[in-house]
Amino acid sequence: MPRFTLDLQWTEQGLEHFRREEHLKIREVAKAFATDPAHPLNIISITDRLVPTPLGPIWVVEGEDNNVSKVVEHFRQMGNVTVTVQMS
């Protein structure tokens, strides 16, 4: 199965959530969406970049191209992060 790296960077709205420690809730919602049987991805790793600044997490996932596209679109609609996708 193809492997992708999703580089997520917090937007100003996302950083507002971060300050209130709501980022963990956002992450859990995102993980639930990404692993839903309707568009399943296998999450290999999630690396949070918090120091020295809360930049945003890097996700490494395996899945079909169209499922990655659906998950990336969902992230973009959430408005908390911008997403850059790269095939690993």
pLDDT by residue (tens digit) across 36-47?
999 899 999 998
The yes-or-no verdict on residue 80 having pLDDT over 90 is: no
Query: Cα separation of 65 and 19, whole Å?
Result: 33
Confidence of residue 12 (pLDDT cuts 50, 70, 90): confident
pTM: 0.80
| 3-state SS class at 23 | helix
Which structural domains are found in the chain, ordered by start? Answer: 3-87 (3.30.70.60)
Query: Cα separation of 73 and 6, whole Å?
Result: 12
